[in-house]
Every structure is written in structure tokens, then in C-alpha cells.
A and B are shown apart, each in its own frame.
Chain A
Amino acid sequence: MSLDDIKETFFAECADQMADLETGLHEIQSDGPDMDTVNAVFRAVHSIKGGAGAFGYAALVSFAHVFENALDVIRNDLSQVNEERMDLLLRSVDVLSDVIEAERTGTEPTDTTALARELEAAFGLTAEGEEEEDALEDFAPVTIDLEAFDLDASDAAETPSGRTYRISFAPHASLYLKGHDPLRFFRELSEMGTLGVSCDLDSLPKLTELSPDESYLKWQVDMETERDRDEIAAVFDWVDGECDLTIEEIGGGSPDGGGEELDDFLANLGDDPELADIGSEETPSGGEAASAGAAPVAGPDSPPSTAPVASGGATGDNGKDRSGEAVRRPEKEKKEVKKPSQTIRVESEKVDRLINLMGELVINQAMLAERIGQAGFGNASPAALALVELQNLTREIQSGVMAIRAQPVKPVFMRMSRIVREVCSATGKKALLELEGEHTEVDTTVIEGLIDPLTHMIRNAVDHGIEDPETRVALGKPPQGTVKLSAYHSSGRIVIEIKDDGAGINRERVLNKAIEKGIVGRDAKLTDDEIDNLIFAPGFSTAEAITDVSGRGVGMDVVRQSIQSLGGRVSISSEPGKGSLFSMSLPLTLAVLDGMIVKEAGQTLVLPVSAVLETATLKPGDVYTIGKNHRVVKMRNTLIPIIDVGRQLGFAEQRTDFTKGTIMVVEGGKSGMGAFIVDSIEGQQQVVIKSLETNYKRVPSIAAATILGNGQIALILDCDHIVSHNSGEPEAELIQSMAG
């Protein structure tokens, strides 16, 4: 594992921590603070800080440190949470993610001092924190500071809730291998209380025998703190399994089972002449420390005042009684701390390769089916039955493989809350993002493609949809608007909806704008729905003034295009004064699709089954001609334009007899429907989507390609494009522009 790999792992973990952090803060925001969540949030920042320290990301460490201190205030007193502080914390998440990103890409980190000051001011963090930091500069891990234990009891009495822990910490070689530095833990601990650290050099071999790859040093830390055991354990959280760690309470608080172990330990210490020897030589005050530590164990009821205390007392905490809190801390939390991860991290390329191989398997299976069919075995023949078995297995393996890449949409959704905050602060509006169904899973390829269109729509929802707080109040709405982002599965697709309770689409303005821009004719009569969908027209923007937020040169037409390129559809419905609803329907994966295999002009083509509404054959009276070359079919009381697929793609001449083919009514997004006419329908099968862009480029009217059972390539039609570009003529100008 190279350092770069380790860094990559760190950033991957950062991403996880950030997700936890954001989720946690949102829970606190919506449900109020509870200790579990606050602790989880604290841990997330803490782990990031720890990792960043190991890699020397100074900017990240210093901001995470302030952030952590701010969270600590809440951790010490849940009632410290208020709206202003929450807002500040959420903004800190954004900044923290920026700083992480800057460290990852090696760019200049964003300036965090302003926000850090704000945090310090809002949470009453004084410069004390900095002094503490300064003091740490001189910190040396091997310092034997056990004299401190001789301090008299009166000093200790000032911190009645203080406890003493003995931590033995023996890092494994793997700890160093992963770039951790024990010094960091001691720093961490020293922030929680006062330490006496001794280094156990017992296992250190002679210099000639020393292997630089091995870990020989062990430390014993005696710590005086007000924190409880879990918090100390949390410091070592992310080296779990990479060190031998015991934390015993040896004084203060309520003594636990550790006492006996300690007794044994001390007894052994005494028995072992070598150890004793070292105690006297290497750690002159070791024996004293041991006896000082032993005292409270001997008398469990003795007050904590006998506990050894270092000069200065505990830092950080302001002596709040934490015992009540400790009681409330459920067993579950302890588990969370220690629970080993049940997941594995796999490079996405490995999964991609598996999915490609899966695709090959599907193709091969189709080939086999074709061969068995050709060989003339009956349906009940052993070969055919074995094939059915194989098909079932393949499908199962396929869904299993797909599930590896399936991920909840949550991270993308969480990102949107940041967008809402940003837009709110830029426009002075107030809006809350509500999430629903964020655990719905989709293929990662789809998730990646979702980020841009979602960002844009969320931005629009706040910027154009939600009204100013004053306007809202005047309209009898709560001053804070709501944007609801939800996801759910529906018939093999994922549906994502963005709903706001804003003003809705100003149809008059949209229509005027569209007329002004020449998108529709001056005397056009449009339904409300059609007007709403004008916002998807290319070159359309309703923003009166180019604000900081919108007007970035990207319109809803781009949103629509990017959703279409994912094989999805988007539609809008709006109610004036009540709000708008954007609805997206997307495939669960971009790797396979259920295809309708058709023949046209000697070519085999594939249509996504999801786009096909119905199929029919035409009788002579069904076809009407409009104008010179436009033919429509009347089905279910609607007139649907007939699209001669072969002609449109330039494969064949205009067909004259419409009764000889098969009609497939295809839904082409919001451009409406089209009746595709083809020679015949061959069947339905699952096809593997292969990009044409990998080796060629995007071809209009074609979504992708696939490989059929006979090894031939079939093109998958882009129904939306074909329907919206239907002119009754092949796309002459397109062909020209490409040939020229």
C-alpha cells in the first residue's frame, strides 16, 4: 500500500464521516439533540481531525479542532443547541467539506479563519483552546511525568468529578504502516485531562537486532480526567485492532472490575525483578506512581480526592457533572464505538469489470439460446431445460452483481441540503429541505449523473419557487418554505420528486417570455401543462435578473438533456400559489435494459420496453395524412404522429403501405408520443448497454448499442430524440453537418 493509497482511504473515510456528520446534524435539527446523535457527530469530526493530523493537513486539523470544540459545548450540555448555532454548525460542515476537498486535490485551502472566529464567538470558546494547542507543541511522548502524582490531595479536591485511568497502549506495526502517530493520541488525551506517560522499552532489542518495520514501544498513560471511559476509548477508535489497548479506571468515580486486574498487575510488577529493575532505572518514579494509583483501589469508598492530579487540573470541561449523562448513555453506544465495519471497500473498477463480464455472460447466454433453438431441440429437451436453469442463474447473478453497485441516493440528497443553504443565504430566503426515501438504492452510475440536474432543480426550486419570507407571511404561509426531495421505486425505475411549497410557475410570465424569445407563436393557444413545460425549452430562462444563484448559463433544457442521457424522463406540474412538483423517472442501472427487439429495413433495432406503451397493426382507414408528408394514426381518441423509423434513420425510403408494418406507440418524454412503424417485432429480451461513445461518439437518435445472440450489434433507439425530432424527413441537415 503506497502513501497515496492510504491517503485515498483516508479521504474515502472522510466522505463517510462527512455523511454521518451531516445526517447527524440534520437529525439534531429536526428532532432536537440527543446524546447519541451528538456523540456520533462529534466522533465524525474527531476522526477526520485525527486522520488529517496523521497526514499533516494543518488547515484541516485546525478547523476541525474548532469545529470539534464547538460540538463539545453541545455535548456537555444539550440545551446549548439553538437555531443560530445549528446554522453555524451546518455551515461549518460545508466549509469542512471544502477544506477536505482542497486537501485532497492539493489546492489552496479555503480561508476558514472567519468561520472559526464565528464558531468561537457563538460557542463561547475562548483563546484558551489556542493556549492549549501551544502547550502541546512542547509535548513529548516519552516524558515521564509521574512526579505529578505526588501532588497533594487538596489540589485534587478542586476537581471532585475527576477520575484516573491507566491506559496501556501497545501499537502493532500495522498502526504505523497506516500512517498513525502515537503522539497524536497523546495530544488528544492531553486535551481531555492531564497525563503522565511512560514508555515501556522492555521489548526494544539491541540496535543490531532492531528491525525498523517492527513495533517495540509500549506506553502506559496515567490520566486524570473528567471524561468517561468511552470517550477515552473513542480517541483510539480508528486504530481499533491495530493496537493492544486496555483502559482501566484506577481512581476517582466508581471503581470497576479493573481494580482487581490492577492489583494483579501491580503484584506481577513487584514480582518481576526485571520489571522492578526497569522501574527504578528507566522510570524513577514508576513505583510511586503505582502505589499512588493503588491507593484508591484499596479503598473503593475513598473519595476521589486521593486520586493523583497533575498541576493545572483538567482542561476543556468546566466541571459539569457528567454522571447523569453517563447513566443515560445506553449500551448501544458502546457497541457503535467498537463495532467492526461489516462492509468492505472495493475499487469501483473491480465492480465495473465484474459488471462487464456479467454483460458478456448475458450475451453468451443469448447466443447459446439461439444455437439451441437452431439445433432444433424441443422445449422439453434436456438441453433446453438446462438453458432455462442457466437463464435463471444468470438473472440472479446479475441482480446480485448489480446490487453491489447499487447505493442509496442519500449522499446526493444530503448534498442538496447544502445547495439549499447556499441559495438561502444568497437570496435571503428561508427554506428547509425535507428528505424522503433517501435509502432508495440506485446504480452508482445513475447516482453520479443525478448530481448536476438535481443541484440545478433544487437551486431553481428555492430561487424561483420559494417566495421571500415577507411575501410568504403576507400570503399566510409560514416564513420558511419547504422543499421536499423524495425517491421511491416504481415498476423497475426510480422516481425522484422535488416538491416546493412556493409560488408555482407564473404562467403568464413564462408564456410572454417564450413568445418574446420566439419559442412559441404569438397567437399560440397552450394548455397550462404545456406552458409549464416551456421552461424545458432550449434557451429559456425566467429569471428576471441574473442573480448570483441562477443565470449560470445553464437552463432547464440542459437538466432535461442530462436526465435523458441517463435514460430518464422529467416532467413538471405546478399549481399557482401552491408550488411546483418536478418528477424524474430514471432506470435503476445503466448497464442492462429490457429491450424490445424489432426489425426494420433489414436492421435489428432495440427499443427500451419502458418506453413502449402498446403495439398494434394498422388497418387502411387508421392513417390520416396531414400536410405533405405527415401521417398520424388515431388511437384511443388521440392523434399520434407516425414515425417511419427506417426513413428517419436514413436506412430506407419512405414507406407507402402502413398496413404492412407493426406500430409501436412510444412515449418520448414530454415531447409526447410517437407511433413508430417497423417491419416486425422479434421479441423481448434483456440487453447489455454498450456505449457508442467509448470508441466513436454520440449518434443522434441512438441511445447506445448492444450485442445480440448472433454476435451482431444492434442499435438501441433514443426514443425521446426520435419523437422530438420527427419531421417526416430524415435529418438532412444533421447528415450534412457531419459529412461537411
Chain B
Amino acid sequence: MHDENEQAVVGGEEFIAFRVGEQEFCVEITSTREIRGWSQATRLPHSPDYIVGVINLRGTILPIMDLSARLGMGMSAPSERHVIIVVQVRDKTIGLLVDSVSDILDVGPDHLRPVPEVSSDMSTEMFNRVIVLDKRIICEICLESIMPEQEMQAA
């Protein structure tokens, strides 16, 4: 998978951009499996608040993560208008609950910046890079570090 990504750098990378609250974020299109509407999730006990629950994705148990809550921006109140982006992180598949999908971006290397060290806030660790396009600033989510396991191991 990494090889694919590295190859993509040559010609420019593709991202799915989406809105969470007032901000725009994105993930690499190569990790995205599908985008689907919100459906009622089954709550999981003993789980962090950003895990909304699990839904049935054609027979697979898919955990849903509230990205807003995960990034420390408050819990979403999921509605019909919300969207689930199904992403693959290593061997796991997880759904990210976001407000809406906004764009598909094809970004050349000159628009990709490292994450600025704005603060010691841990949320910056959840970003890989920042895409700067005209007046838009879009943070690329680091899928590996938002996964629940990562946090469990750190705890």
C-alpha cells in the first residue's frame, strides 16, 4: 500500500476532503473504501465517547468513529445528512462519521506542507500534512494515529 502512495507522489496525490464542523479535513483516496449515509449504530459498552458504535456493512461489523469527537471538537449529533467514510487502516476497516464530503482533490507536491507546530496539543499528531490551496487549508488525517488501538497501547 505504501508503495502505491509513493508512486502517486510523482504525479500528485488524490484526497477525499470532507467537513467536520467548520473545518475541512481529508484522507488519502487510496485508503478510502466507500462513502455511505448514516445508519443507526449499535452502541458499544466500555468504549470511548468517540466510538459511536458498530453498524452492519454487508455482514461486516464496522465500528464508527465520530471524527469530531476524536479530534476534540465536540460530539456530533448524527443525522440523515451525516456521512460515513469507510477507510482501511492496515488490516482494519473503520467508518469515520463526518458532516459532509466536500471535494476530491488532486494535489501536487508543492501544495503539501508539513503540519505547523501550532501547539503541543495532541490533535496535531493526528495530522500527516496540510494541503494549502488558495484560501483553503485542509489537514490530512493520520489514520494510523486516530485508530483506537494506538491509544490503547499508549494508555
Give A contacts to B, CB under 8 Å: 356, 359-360, 363, 603-604, 649-651, 690-692, 694-697, 699-702, 705, 707, 711-715, 731, 734-735, 737-740
Contact = CB atoms under 8 A, between A and B. Distances in A.
A94 B135 CA distance: 70
Given A694-B92, A695-B63, A702 B44 contact: yes
Contacts of A734: 46
Interface string B40-65: 11111111110101111001111100
Contact of B54 (A363, A649, A692, A738): A692
Contacts of A713: 41-42, 53-56, 61
B92 A695 contact: yes
A715 B61 CA distance: 11
B155 A737 contact: yes
Nearest to A735: B46
9 contacts: A360-B59, A692-B61, A694-B60, A695-B63, A696-B61, A696-B63, A697-B152, A714-B42, A715-B42
Nearest to B94: A695
B80 interface: no
B35 to A, nearest CB: 17
A699 B92 contact: no
A614 B112 CA distance: 63
B149 interface: yes
A739 B48 contact: yes
Contact of A694 (B43, B46, B53, B61): B61
B21 interface: no
A691 B40 contact: no
Interface residues of B, number: 27
Given A695-B92, A701-B45, A713-B42, A738 B152 contact: yes
A205 to B, nearest CB: 47
Contacts of B51: 696
A730 to B, nearest CB: 8
B148 interface: yes
Given A692-B61, A696-B63, A712-B40, A739 B45 contact: no
A699 B155 CA distance: 16
B59 A738 contact: no
A603 B60 CA distance: 19
B93 interface: yes
Given A713-B54, A737-B155, A739-B48, A695 B60 contact: yes
B154 to A, nearest CB: 10
Nearest to A696: B63
Contacts of A699: 44-47
A707 B45 contact: no
B96 to A, nearest CB: 13
Contacts of B92: 694-696
Interface string B140-155: 0000000011001001
Contact of B46 (A604, A650, A712, A714): A650
A712 B42 contact: yes
Contacts, number: 86
A380 B42 CA distance: 35
Nearest to A710: B56
B14 to A, nearest CB: 24
A691 B61 contact: yes
Contacts of A649: 45-46
User: Which 9 A-B pairs rank lowest in CB-CB distance, beginning with the nearest?
Assistant: A649-B45, A713-B42, A696-B63, A700-B46, A739-B48, A690-B61, A695-B92, A705-B61, A695-B93
Contact of A740 (B43, B59, B155): B155
Contacts of A356: 59
A490 to B, nearest CB: 31
A696 B54 contact: yes
Contacts of B45: 649-651, 699-702, 715
A149 to B, nearest CB: 65
B56 A738 contact: no
Contact of A697 (B43, B93, B149): B149
B36 to A, nearest CB: 13
Contacts of A695: 60-63, 92-94
A512 B124 CA distance: 53
Nearest to B154: A740
Given A649-B45, A699-B46, A705-B54, A738 B155 contact: yes
Given A650-B46, A738-B47, A707 B59 contact: yes
A597 to B, nearest CB: 13
Contacts of B62: 695
A363 B59 contact: yes
A356 B60 CA distance: 10
A360 B57 CA distance: 12
Nearest to B63: A696
Contacts of B46: 649-650, 699-702, 731, 734-735, 738
Nearest to B60: A695
B49 A739 contact: yes
A650 B49 CA distance: 12
B152 to A, nearest CB: 7
B43 A651 contact: yes
A699 to B, nearest CB: 6
Contacts of B56: 707, 711-713
A378 B43 CA distance: 35
B93 to A, nearest CB: 5
Contacts of A702: 44-46
B93 A715 contact: no
Which of B40, B49, B56, B62 lies at the interface centre, i.e. has the most chain A CB atoms within 10 A of its CB? Answer: B56
A714 to B, nearest CB: 7
A692 B54 CA distance: 9
A731 B43 CA distance: 16
A422 B93 CA distance: 43
A173 to B, nearest CB: 39
A359 B54 contact: no
Contacts of A650: 45-46
A727 to B, nearest CB: 13
A493 B63 CA distance: 31
Given A690-B61, A692-B61, A731-B46, A697 B54 contact: no
Contacts of B61: 690-692, 694-696, 705, 707, 713
Nearest to A734: B46
A29 to B, nearest CB: 45
A701 B53 CA distance: 15
B44 A715 contact: yes
Contacts of B49: 739
A510 B116 CA distance: 60
Given A705-B54, A707-B56, A713-B55, 8 more contacts: A690-B60, A692-B63, A694-B92, A702-B44, A713-B41, A713-B56, A713-B61, A739-B48
A400 to B, nearest CB: 21
A731 B47 CA distance: 11
A589 B47 CA distance: 28
A715 B55 CA distance: 11
